[in-house]
Copies of this chain bind each other. A is one copy, B any other.
Amino acid sequence: MTNGLVLSIDGMGGDSAPDIVVEGVDIFARSHPDVRFLVHGDAGRIGALMDKYPAAKAASEVVPAEKTIGMEVKASQALRQGKGSSLWNAVQAVELGTAHAVVSAGNTGAYMAIAMFRLRTMQGVHRPALATRWPTMKGGYTIMLDVGANVEADAEQLVEFAIMGEAFARAVSDEPRPKVALLNVGAEDQKGHEEIRSAAKLIRETDVDINFQGFVEGDDIAKGTVDVVVTDGFTGNIALKTGEGTARLVGQLLREALTSGPLAQLGALIAYPALRKLRTRMDPGTFNGALFLGLNGLVVKSHGSANGRGYAAAIGVAEKLARSHYREEVVANIQRLSQANANAAAAAAAAGSAK
């Protein structure tokens, strides 16, 4: 590994790979000349693209990979047959220590499976989680996790998600003490599932070092009430997709309204630069870059349909994480959680033997 930061890139993952990937690397490289890239994939195609993107070419080493994992491939299939693919090799570079983080816009299930298989779960973490960012009314982002890696999560897992999400938030924002809350159907202590109430109790009763704010509701995600919203992967996935669907619905209704007659069209034409800015702000590419948390390595997922700018945003997430103390912070808090659990178990055993 060189002295500088090295990022491993799956050159072939995503709807418009490798074109968008190389463009994204180029955009990022122009403002970050100190970062190097290992771009895995079809060397002929990627090499030809690099000629069009000089900043990407100067910062990258193209690492040939003999195959590509398609979007339709199942996770189990990817594990059996994925060796030698651009995705597999990109992950392996992190495992071997030749890169500090990996980015792919490819098949999510295959990516998660290969990353878990090669990098393994961090000690003390039961299951990895998938975290995404949402734009908020305050102008920043809310990080939400889990959004689909685990259909169910018990209290201890929810606390692990809180710990990992908090360190992620600090790494990618300027907030030194990100606010963390559990997603619930009301703010009162007695609301919600047993798992959520127990998780809140566990955070409050252990010395896990996070700025915990209790419960928030679904509308707090877009409000930006807290920096990190913690939930199980079932609820998180449904909330994420419901939000995306609603944003698309409003966008469609707006387009219909602004093309509904000559006056509306004229108004839209005059307001066009402002409307284009709105579109950019709502574009998932702008806040692109999900993270698989809880693995021995930094694994960033770009949206499959991200454009070059969106891909560069995902690379930015990987870079910020790689330069942060994310791992050490998670390890320290997970140890506090494990210690609290061990103490509780010892106390229970002592109480039992004293009988």
Instruction: Please list the residues of chain A having a beta carbon within 8 angstroms of any beta carbon in chain B.
Output: 135-137, 148, 151-152, 183, 185, 191-193, 217-223, 231, 233-235, 237-254, 256-258, 260-261, 263-264, 266-275, 277-278, 281-282
Contacts and interface: CB of A to CB of B under 8 A. Distances in A.
Nearest to A219: B245
Contact of A223 (B223, B245, B257, B275): B245
A248 B136 CA distance: 10
B270 A136 contact: no
A282 to B, nearest CB: 7
A274 B246 CA distance: 20
Contact of A246 (B246, B268, B273): B246
B266 A242 contact: no
A183 B253 CA distance: 24
Copies in the assembly, this chain:
2
B253 A264 contact: no
Q: Which 5 A-B pairs have the closest CB atoms?
A: A267-B271, A218-B241, A219-B245, A267-B270, A264-B274
A6 B242 CA distance: 37
15 contacts: A135-B249, A151-B191, A218-B243, A218-B244, A218-B245, A219-B241, A219-B244, A222-B242, A238-B238, A242-B242, A253-B281, A257-B274, A264-B270, A264-B273, A266-B271
Contacts of A257: 271, 274-275, 277-278
A248 B250 CA distance: 10
Contacts of A218: 237-245
Contacts of A231: 238
Given A235-B238, A238-B238, A277-B260, A245 B267 contact: no
B250 A282 contact: yes
Contact of A268 (B151, B250, B261, B271): B271
A42 B261 CA distance: 47
B238 A253 contact: no
Nearest to A218: B241
Nearest to A242: B218
Given A241-B217, A257-B274, A263-B273, A192 B234 contact: yes
Max count, chain B CB within 10 A of own CB: residue among A191, A270, A272:
A270
A237 to B, nearest CB: 4
A151 B185 contact: yes
A221 B243 CA distance: 10
Contacts of A254: 254, 278
B271 A148 contact: no
Contacts of A235: 234-235, 238
A254 to B, nearest CB: 6
A193 B152 contact: yes
Given A218-B240, A242-B239, A267-B272, A151 B282 contact: no
A191 B246 CA distance: 23
Contacts of A264: 270-271, 273-275
B249 A251 contact: no
A238 B217 contact: yes
Nearest to A252: B137
B274 A260 contact: yes
A161 to B, nearest CB: 16
Contact of A271 (B242, B248, B256, B263): B263
Nearest to A254: B278
A282 B221 CA distance: 20
